[in-house]
């Protein structure tokens, strides 16, 4: 039986290239594509794929938050991060969110195929260059309390924060999340109070610094 795969990346040319390569594998099948994290979450619920190849930096809902939701809802779907980011922030946040693998976009396709087969067997796969980042970050965390101020935010508050940082209005956020504008305003007020940040400009800087969104589109 083929490994059923969903590709989540906001660049169409990347998805097309991956689809072409993956479908040459006799044991793999690309069943759908997503251009943002929110679509990936919806497809995971609808299709229950075996593996989702997930970009980390995507608009609307980033790969970290999408992975958190997908893994939290499914005990079978595995997520492999495929990213241009090699710094510890992105790697550790993806792993904390439940990703089973992390590779860089400059890896050879053979490594991605190996990673897919590895996570399907119930193991974790990290690119060799990423393994060092994870070890270094772990050793660093041993020397101080492992606490992130972003942990004080709920999943929904992180979603709202990303959308605010990306320039969405209160009404637009309400439409995207299917909640009322009053609820969005409540979330924004709670985010500001929890982080002790009271301007959209500073919230945007914070979101970029924490990897919730990116200036790169």
pLDDT, tens digit, 9 for 90 and up, residues 79-105? 999 999 888 788 888 988 999 999 999
Query: Is position 161 within any domain?
Result: yes
Whether residues 113 and 200 share a domain: the answer is no
Whether residues 105 and 183 share a domain: the answer is no
Q: Per-residue pLDDT for 175 more than 70?
A: yes
Please report, for the domain that includes residue 202, its CATH number. 1.10.10.10
Whether residues 117 and 157 share a domain: the answer is no
Whether residues 171 and 129 share a domain: the answer is no
Res. 13 pLDDT band, cuts 50 70 90: very high
Res. 145 pLDDT band, cuts 50 70 90: very low
Q: Per-residue pLDDT for 153 more than 80?
A: yes
pLDDT, tens digit, 9 for 90 and up, residues 28-81? 999 999 999 999 999 999 999 999 999 999 989 999 999 999 999 988 999 999
pLDDT, average across residues 158-163: 94
Token pair for 197: 């940040």
Of 166 and 132, the one with more pLDDT: 166
Q: Per-residue pLDDT for 134 more than 90?
A: no
User: Domain range spanning residue 204?
Assistant: 149-209
Whether residues 131 and 194 share a domain: the answer is no
Give the end of a domain, one of 95, 118, 142.
142
For 189-214, give one letter per residue: b (16+ CB within 10 A) or e. ebbbeebebeeeeebbebbeebbbbb
Give the end of a domain, one of 121, 142, 163.
142
- Could you tell me the pTM of the whole model? 0.75
Contacts (Cβ under 8 Å, ≥6 apart) of 67: 54, 79, 81, 94, 97, 98, 99
Whether residues 125 and 25 share a domain: the answer is yes
């Amino acid at each position: 039986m083929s490994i059923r795969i969903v590709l989540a990346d906001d660049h169409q040319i990347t998805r097309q290239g991956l689809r072409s390569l993956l479908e040459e594998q006799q044991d793999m099948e690309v069943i759908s594509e997503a251009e943002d994290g929110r679509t990936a979450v919806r497809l995971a619920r609808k299709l229950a794929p075996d593996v989702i190849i997930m970009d980390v930096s995507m608009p609307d809902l980033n790969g970290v938050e999408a992975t958190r939701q997908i893994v939290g809802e499914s005990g079978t779907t595995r997520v492999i991060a495929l990213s241009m980011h090699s710094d510890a922030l992105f790697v550790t946040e993806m792993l904390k969110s439940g990703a089973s693998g992390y590779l860089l976009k400059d890896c050879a396709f053979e490594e991605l195929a190996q990673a897919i087969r590895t996570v399907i067997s119930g193991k974790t796969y990290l690119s060799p260059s990423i393994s060092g980042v994870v070890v270094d970050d772990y050793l660093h965390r041993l020397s101080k309390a492992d606490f992130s101020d972003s942990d004080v935010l709920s999943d929904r508050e992180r979603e709202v924060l990303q959308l605010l940082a990306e320039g969405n209005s209160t009404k637009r956020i309400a439409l995207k999340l299917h909640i009322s504008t009053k609820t969005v305003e409540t979330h924004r007020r709670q985010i500001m109070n929890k982080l002790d940040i009271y301007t959209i400009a500073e919230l945007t800087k914070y979101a970029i610094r924490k990897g919730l969104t990116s200036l790169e589109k």
